[in-house]
Structure 1
């Protein structure tokens, strides 16, 4: 049984409205780190870009994710992070996101041609039901549910998503997460960078996306067919230093919220997928 499940809905989108940005993060092209690692980092460029223009000159899009956080039963933090990462992968691999006539393909191309932005917001009750009525995919973890939507322009959010917030969301793990499965990719969080739950969910999504980009077609298909097994864990300081010299994909934050620009936040260890 795959470690996560997802369901698809395709309905008419709501009206556009300006979105209040929170928890906004960007996967940058390689840039100097204020505290540089002792070794090289992975080039962070998409093999799926359509237009090779300067990223900042292209129209800017954002990938919206909404986490279901009911007041009486919030999800565990680690499960929310892992579910958000899987939601990004499900969107990237969905037939509607791909060329050859996929209904979301044009938006996905435009998004990947510009800065790779993700925004995570929260919903409960009627807010969640309205979000589920919009075109997108809901991914369920053990306790978490995250709905991912096709990319939208920065100033063109559907009104039922634009009104949602993520600030003030605190999630905890009832008990420390178990060690990661050595046979599955791990998205390692920087132990020296503190992030809110929404910020960390977006960063985990970035890490999953960089791992996806770095794989060949065979490895991507195998990961998809297995249900995108992965773990999100905070690295021990010594392990983090080792990871920075391993040539793995590294997420560097653009510094819009919470942390300093250029901070390394996630390293994607996708080596188990190469056998």
Structure 2
């Protein structure tokens, strides 16, 4: 039942992010057996005037999960093998690149999912075999000024950004993409619809709320108590860029709080 409910990408996450809901040990973080490093590329549309930072992050969260839930990523779909190989590697890597004008239009022809004309999530593949249209896009230095997102939408789940960690918009886009996938995984493992995580608000967390959530995570490293008491699931960074390994960069919450 669980395997039927989860896509290849979400199924690979389940034993790690909600071990209390699935059988078997959590997978490790070993490199893939074939030695190939794979990643999902998130192409952020950053025109010269710049879209609002929050809008880009919310689109990134949606795009990453939308690709995982797309029927083309299901068994017998054309993306299945690529998504399954990426998700089965232990670490689900994402790389953010920025594009504008003609470069943005060019990546629309590469297999993937675009959300709000702001972010396109590309079908995962080897990091050293990306198409020319993607290779020419810059990775580092991708940022936008902070904005005020206002209160989260009451009808949407929320991804809370850590008040302890400064992240560029490129880094944060990858992190919220992880968060939407993790939230969808736990929902599906409970028997709920993972598509409920397709539209998440993204907001900075208050220090008080964040400290309380982190205490719940520290008290029960499995994450069960934090989920059952607060409806939250953490993103712990692998430490490849910007932050130390194990840093909680954001928290996905299935419901808003007052």
Query: TM-score under structure 1 normalisation?
Result: 0.73
Q: After TM superposition, where is structure 1 displaced by more than 2 Å over at least 4 residues in a row? A: 42-47, 52-55, 57-60, 166-170, 216-222
Q: Distance in 1 between matches of 2:65 and 2:130?
A: 21
SS in 1 for 2:31: helix
Aligned length, in residue pairs: 221
Partner of 1:121: 97
CA distance 1:160–1:83, change in 2 (3 Å): same
SS in 2 for 1:56: coil
Partner of 1:233: 203
The structural deviation recorded for 1:232 is: 0.8
Higher relative contact order (CA 8 A, sep 6+): 1
Q: Distance in 1 between matches of 2:64 and 2:141?
A: 23
Query: TM-score under structure 2 normalisation?
Result: 0.78
- Asked if 1:177 is matched to 2:154, the reply is no
Give 5+ residue unaligned stretches, structure 2: 1-12, 217-225
Q: Give runs of aligned pairs for residues 39-78 of structure 1, distance below 5 A.
A: 42-43=17-18, 55-58=30-33, 59-71=36-48, 73-78=49-54
Q: Is the Cα contact below 8 Å between 2:50 and 2:144 reproduced in 1?
A: yes
Q: Is the Cα contact below 8 Å between 1:46 and 1:112 reproduced in 2?
A: no
Q: Is the Cα contact below 8 Å between 2:38 and 2:86 reproduced in 1?
A: yes
Partner of 2:63: 87
Give 5+ residue unaligned stretches, structure 1: 1-26, 31-41
Partner of 2:254: 270
CA deviations over 1:40-79 (Å, ceiling 9, x no partner): xx548998xxxx78642334310011011111x3110011
Q: Which stretch of the first structure deviates more once superposed, 241-250 or 253-262?
A: 241-250
Residue in structure 2 matching 1:167, options 140, 157, 171? 140
Q: Give runs of aligned pairs for residues 207-226 of structure 1, distance below 5 A.
A: 207-216=179-188, 219-220=192-193, 223=196
The structural deviation recorded for 1:222 is: 5.4
Partner of 1:3: none
Residue in structure 2 matching 1:205, options 177, 196, 203? 177
Q: Which has the higher helix share?
A: 2
Q: Give runs of aligned pairs for residues 151-166 of structure 1, distance below 5 A.
A: 151-166=124-139
